[in-house]
A = this chain, B = another copy of it.
Amino acid sequence: MTTLVLVSHPQLADSTSQQFLKESLPSTGVKWEHIEGQQALDVDQEQAQLRQADRIIFQFPLYWYAAPAGLKTWEDTVLTRTFVYGDHRYPLAGKELGIVVTTGMPQQAFQRGGAEGLTLDAALAPLAALAHRARMTWLPVFPIYQFGYLEEPEKLQLVIDYQRYLTQRQPDSLANRQDWFAQQLPGMVANLPTEQQATGKLIASVFDQNREQLDQLTDTLAMIKEQEDD
Chain A interfacial positions (CB closer than 8 Å to B): 10, 63-69, 72-73, 75-76, 79, 116-118, 122-123, 125-130, 132-133
- Choice from B63, B66, B133 contacting A66 with Cβ under 8 Å: B66
Each complex incorporates copies of this chain amounting to 2
Q: How far is the CA of A69 from the CA of B127 in the complex (A)?
A: 14
Partner of A10, one of B76, B122, B128: B76
| Chain B residues positioned under 8 Å from A132 (CB to CB) | 117
Residue in chain B with minimal CB distance to A118: B129
CA distance A220 to B116 in the complex (A): 46
- Known: A66-B66, A72-B69. Is A125-B116 also a contact (CB below 8 A)? no
Q: Smallest CB-CB separation from A74: which chain B residue?
A: B69
Can you name the residue of chain B whose Cβ is closest to the Cβ of A72? B69
Assess the A68–B72 pair: CB atoms within 8 A: yes
Most chain B CB inside 10 Å of its own CB: which residue of A69, A73, A75: A69
Q: Are A79 and B66 in contact (CB under 8 A)?
A: no
